[in-house]
Structure 1
Amino acid sequence: MQRYFVEETRWENDILRISGDDSHHIVRVMRMKAGDELIAIHPEKGPAHCKIAEISEGSVSCKVMNWVEEEREMPVHVTIVASLGKGDKLEQIVQKGTELGASSFIPYQADRSVAKWDAKKEPKKIQRLQKIAKEACEQSERTFVPDVKSVHTLDQILKLRENYDYCFFGYADEARHSNAGTLKHALKPVKDEQSILVAFGPEGGFSELEVERFKQSDFSSITLGPRILRMETAPLYFLSTLSFMME
């Protein structure tokens, strides 16, 4: 059943009104009519099974039939720090990372990031990434849309250490050493409801200065197996491994 995330201001008791792009999608793409059913997700209460009551110009009015209980979220809260990369790599990370259960994303202007974001264009880029996360949530039937933060500096990321139970950074050089610890070993102590912050470098990896500062701030380096992964693959490998272990 088609799912839509609806702002809290659009709800009034058991009646809600969907507008904007979602309204267009319901009417023009899905060709729904009065009497058809859908899932609307309240930011706090979660998913509700709804029936379309009325369709007007630019708006779809629905009535809640019943609230739905479901467990679709990762049992741990994971924030992905993704370095800026070429092309649509960050978009891939947000889309697929959302499908795999990430809680939030932080774009990072790494020392070796080839891509550079213009400060004036950043809000539109973040807005697009947030839209991608929302659409990925609807596709994967999640009940929570990850938040895409503004671009962070290294200092800002390191200050977040005190807000998380575990902080990691992916370090490609770890995979080149046979005595490197496994990701399974690093994630073994993690329990339900705990939080993880994990940072991944750009195409050229983290600089020596970044690695040193991560270590000084009590971030643990992790290896993602014996093979060197692309920057857009590494976060997905991490989330998949964590999902397998926790779920």
Structure 2
Amino acid sequence: MQRYFVEKEQFENDTVRILGEDARHIGKVMRGRAGDEIIVCDGAGRVVLAELESVEAGEVGAKIVEEMKETSEARFRVDIAQSLPKGDKLETVIQKCTEIGASAFVPFLSERTVVQYDAKKEEKRLQRWSKIAKEAAEQSHRSRIPDVRQPLTYKQLLKTFANYDLVLFCYEKENGLQLRDAVRPFAESKTEGSANVLVVVGPEGGFAEREADEAAASGAKIAGLGKRILRAETAGMAALACILYESGEMGGNL
């Protein structure tokens, strides 16, 4: 069943309005008619089954039929901090990691970042990234849209480590600690409730040794992702899948 995310303000008592591109998608692409049912989410956890009542070019009205209990969100909140990669690679990271279950994306600039960051273009890019997260959340039947945050400097990123229960710094020179070995005991200790985890991934050229030392000093666990060197846009996906597996989301140990 087709799923749409709307602003909380679009819910009114026992009705909900779908506006803009989503309304046009219902009318023109899905050929929606009165009586058809859709799923509508507010992006913060509320999910309802709704029946279409009116379908116009820029607005669709629907009656809420049922409040739905969703279990599609991961038990652990896992944010992906990705050093800005070249081209449209971050769009791939956002799309695929949203599908897997990431909770937020934190772009940042590191020593070997190749991208020339332009603050003037920031708002437009954030809008593009947020749209990709929304569409991926709809496609994968998420009940929440991952937050895409404004890019940080490396020093700003280090300061955010204190907000997490576990920070995993993906580094090929990890001195023997693999991601699974860092995640497994943590997941086993968090059998009740949830936890906030941050995965930090470098750019195409990887992290400088100084950056790894600073991350460790700020509380991160320096961990590898196996014997092979992964691309910048692949590492976050692999790490996220490993974390969710070990936390029991994908048939893991718990």
Q: Normalised by the shorter chain, which TM-score bucket?
A: over 0.9
> Are positions 1:181 and 2:177 aligned together?
yes
- Classify 1:45/1:240 alpha carbon distance in 2 versus 1 (closer, same or farther; 3 Å): closer
Contact 1:109–1:116 under 8 Å retained in 2: no
> Are positions 1:76 and 2:76 aligned together?
yes
Whole-angstrom CA distance in 1 between matches of 2:77 and 2:45: 19
Whole-angstrom CA distance in 2 between matches of 1:171 and 1:79: 17
Whole-angstrom CA distance in 2 between matches of 1:9 and 1:96: 29
Contact 2:44–2:143 under 8 Å retained in 1: no
User: Which range moves more in the overlay, 145-154 or 191-200?
Assistant: 191-200
Which amino acid in structure 2 is aligned with residue 224 of structure 1?
L
Instruction: Give 1:37 deviation, angstroms.
Output: 0.7
Residues 151-191 of structure 1 show CA distances to partners (whole Å, capped at 9, x for unaligned) of 001111111122110112110122xx6xx122221001132
Corresponding residue number in structure 2 for 1:143: 143
Residues 27-56 of structure 1 show CA distances to partners (whole Å, capped at 9, x for unaligned) of 111111111110001244511111000112
Whole-angstrom CA distance in 2 between matches of 1:96 and 1:125: 18
Whole-angstrom CA distance in 2 between matches of 1:30 and 1:172: 46
Number of residue pairs aligned between Structure 1 and Structure 2: 243
In the TM superposition, structure 1's runs of 4+ consecutive aligned residues that sit over 6 Å from their partners are none
Which amino acid in structure 2 is aligned with residue 155 of structure 1?
K
Whole-angstrom CA distance in 2 between matches of 1:124 and 1:103: 21
What percent identity do the matched residue pairs reach?
A: 44
Gapped regions of structure 1 (runs ≥ 5) = none
Which amino acid in structure 2 is aligned with residue 226 of structure 1?
K
User: Residues 1-247 of structure 1: matches in 2 within 5 Å?
Assistant: 1-44=1-44, 46-174=46-174, 180-188=176-184, 189-190=186-187, 191=190, 192-246=193-247, 247=249
Instruction: Give 1:208 deviation, angstroms.
Output: 2.2
Whole-angstrom CA distance in 2 between matches of 1:218 and 1:69: 36
Whole-angstrom CA distance in 2 between matches of 1:243 and 1:208: 28
SS at match of 2:110: coil
Which amino acid in structure 1 is aligned with residue 181 of structure 2?
H
What TM-score, normalized to structure 2?
A: 0.93
Residues 192-237 of structure 1 show CA distances to partners (whole Å, capped at 9, x for unaligned) of 5011111100000011221121111111101101111001110000
Gapped regions of structure 2 (runs ≥ 5) = 250-254
Which amino acid in structure 2 is aligned with residue 81 of structure 1?
A
Whole-angstrom CA distance in 2 between matches of 1:208 and 1:181: 16
Whole-angstrom CA distance in 2 between matches of 1:152 and 1:119: 11
Whole-angstrom CA distance in 2 between matches of 1:44 and 1:69: 13
Which amino acid in structure 2 is aligned with residue 169 of structure 1?
F
SS at match of 2:120: coil
- Classify 1:17/1:156 alpha carbon distance in 2 versus 1 (closer, same or farther; 3 Å): same
